């Protein structure tokens, strides 16, 4: 319970935030809540994938930023010939032609003109000291080169290839099983002697088959051998790109106490789970050491999920500076993204959530602070678009420019919260104001409140200039019907929001069609 002095101080700070927000609204801009910062270049280690390219193979990486006033404009200040960057997404592509070293400086500018830049060098090499190739059709002579690839991960796993980059050619591959069982699944640790980066060859389909057999009770083969997943404990600079993870039991990837990881342009599907409370998720951050400065960008997470209802796309414990951006999350039976505990200074931005039970959740068993949830499109949630239900203190949550278009809407529960701001969202559902503020349950702003006392509601939860209605705000694709509101409310971005850039489409990519939303 807050003291009177704490309440007065919180109210004073939040009143200042409200005044600042109102001033911003009057200028049709979105003031930054945190400094603009590129988060996956400066401090990454010497083995990070962004530092290496193979001659003749497309170099494709994403540079990511947090903070700032979104949207951003990206540019290359210094780059080798032929390198380009997607100026709205920060994706760099380049096909080097020969071994050598090149310098890159990348710059990001937010809508207010604030900028950040970082420089790094890229080593282009065809040496097996850096790159290994795996091809399921490999012949007998195997060196790991592009012409003499290995056939599978088992052939290299117990040999020292620490920090190397693996390219998989088209095919289906399994994870080396060590049967270090955690909650029925076989946990295979990425150790210092293992490769740190795992990439699908450009233009080819690579499947990582985690070998779950849902017809067996524990998902295994009936002989005590469990489905496998990769686990990173204390290994920094782990990178996964252009891979499809399939036949997953409980977890696809899991980590704890490791920093500067990237999961980019991957697909996750066909999970088997249960109703057991085991934090099942495609990407799972386990309790233990803190994982910081991770980037989860441009992935697709989808069902079907069988065996139970406990499954998330991403679930976090003990993380800071995590960016979850530009992902498509479909049909998760529990949560799309679930910030469960001790997740701070992190961002959920510009994602599409389709038909999840709950799209985004914030539980915070032991506290959480400084979270941005913005520019997301959420539709078809069967339970809730957004759930904030802390059992310990959370502070400074900025929820803005989202499109919440499901009947379940937003659910805010309990009193352990300070400075929760909901601004310029579209909130479209059938809820109407009812009950008295401070009742066990009541409705305001088309949002359901439970066990939120009047003091918390009046002092620490603020709705500013949201577009609210039961229908007629957005169409079946989530696009504003009244186009004059584009760039002011919801997830769509207007041309004039980009700093000094007039060459953008006013609408984002359309959501997948054919989804029945009730």
Q: What is the pLDDT of residues 154-174, one digit of tens each?
A: 999 989 999 999 999 999 999
pLDDT for residue 20 = 44
Distances from the Cα of 365 to the Cα of 183, 282, 290, 386, 499, angstroms: 22, 21, 15, 17, 39
pLDDT for residue 440 = 96
Q: Give the confidence band of 133 by pLDDT, cuts at 50, 70, 90.
A: very high
Q: Which of 404, 415, 349, 461 is nearest to 18 (CA)?
A: 461
In the chain, which residues fall in CATH 2.160.20? 127-286
pLDDT surpassing 50 at residue 303: yes
Strand partners, 444: 447
pLDDT surpassing 50 at residue 452: yes
pLDDT for residue 505 = 38
Comparing 118 with 158, which gets the higher pLDDT? 118
User: What is d(CA 516, CA 518) in angstroms, rounded to the nearest whole number?
Assistant: 7
pLDDT for residue 5 = 41
pLDDT surpassing 80 at residue 240: yes
Distances from the Cα of 37 to the Cα of 29, 32, 183, 415, 480, angstroms: 19, 12, 38, 32, 31
pLDDT for residue 234 = 86
Comparing 46-50, 224-228, 326-330, 394-398, the range with the smallest average pLDDT is 224-228
**φ, ψ for residue 51, nearest 5 deg:** -90, 0
CATH H-level, domain 37-124: superfamily: Immunoglobulins (2.60.40.10)
Q: What is the pTM of this model?
A: 0.90
pLDDT surpassing 60 at residue 460: yes
In the chain, which residues fall in CATH 2.60.40.10? 37-124
pLDDT for residue 42 = 86
Question: Half-sphere exposure of residue 110, counting CA atoms within 13 Å on the CB side?
Answer: 21
User: What is d(CA 331, CA 436) in angstroms, rounded to the nearest whole number?
Assistant: 35
CATH 1.10.10 is held by the domain 127-286: no
pLDDT for residue 22 = 41
């Amino acid at each position: 319970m807050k003291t009177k002095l704490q309440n007065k101080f919180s109210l004073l700070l939040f009143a200042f935030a409200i005044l600042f927000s109102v001033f911003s609204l009057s200028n049709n801009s979105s003031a930054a809540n945190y400094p603009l910062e590129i988060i996956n270049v400066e401090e990454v280690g010497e083995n990070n994938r962004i530092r290496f390219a193979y001659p003749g193979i497309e170099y494709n990486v994403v540079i990511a930023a947090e903070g700032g006033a979104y949207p951003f404009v990206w540019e290359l200040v210094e780059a080798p010939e032929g390198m380009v960057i997607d100026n709205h997404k920060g994706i760099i592509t380049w096909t080097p032609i020969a071994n050598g070293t090149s310098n890159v400086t990348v710059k990001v500018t937010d809508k207010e003109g604030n900028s950040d830049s970082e420089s790094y060098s890229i080593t282009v090499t065809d040496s097996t000291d850096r790159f290994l190739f795996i091809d399921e059709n490999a012949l007998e002579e195997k060196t790991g080169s592009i012409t003499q690839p290995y056939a599978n991960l088992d052939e290299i796993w117990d040999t020292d290839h620490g920090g190397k980059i693996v390219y998989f050619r088209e095919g289906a591959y399994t994870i080396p099983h060590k049967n270090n069982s955690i909650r029925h699944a076989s946990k295979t640790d990425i150790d210092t002697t293992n490769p740190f980066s795992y990439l699908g060859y450009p233009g080819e389909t690579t499947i990582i088959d985690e070998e779950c057999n849902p017809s067996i009770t524990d998902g295994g083969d009936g002989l005590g051998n469990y489905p496998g997943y990769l686990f990173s404990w204390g290994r920094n600079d782990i990178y996964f790109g252009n891979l499809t993870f399939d036949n997953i039991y409980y977890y696809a990837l899991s980590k704890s106490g490791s920093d500067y990881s990237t999961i980019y342009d991957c697909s996750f599907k066909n999970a088997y789970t249960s109703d057991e409370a085991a934090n099942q998720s495609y990407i799972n951050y386990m309790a233990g050491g803190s994982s910081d400065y991770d980037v989860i960008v441009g992935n697709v997470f989808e069902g079907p999920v069988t065996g139970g209802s406990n499954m998330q796309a991403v679930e976090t414990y003990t993380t800071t500076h995590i960016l979850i951006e530009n992902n498509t999350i479909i049909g998760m039976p529990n949560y799309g993204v679930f910030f469960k505990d001790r997740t701070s200074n992190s961002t959920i931005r510009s994602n599409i959530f389709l038909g999840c039970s709950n799209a985004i959740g914030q539980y915070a068993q032991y506290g959480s602070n400084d979270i941005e949830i913005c520019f997301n499109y959420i539709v078809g949630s069967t339970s809730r678009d957004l759930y904030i239900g802390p059992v310990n203190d959370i502070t400074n949550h900025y929820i803005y420019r989202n499109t919440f278009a499901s009947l379940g809407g937003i659910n805010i529960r309990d009193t352990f919260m300070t400075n929760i701001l909901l601004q310029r969202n579209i909130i479209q559902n059938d809820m109407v104001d009812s009950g008295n503020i401070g009742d066990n349950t009541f409705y305001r702003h088309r949002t359901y409140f439970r066990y939120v006392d009047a003091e918390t509601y009046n002092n620490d939860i603020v709705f500013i200039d949201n577009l609210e209605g039961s229908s007629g705000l957005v169409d079946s694709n989530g696009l504003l019907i009244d186009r004059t509101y584009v760039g002011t409310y919801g997830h769509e971005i207007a041309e004039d929001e980009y700093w000094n850039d007039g060459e953008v489409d006013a609408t984002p990519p359309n959501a997948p069609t054919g989804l029945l939303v009730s």
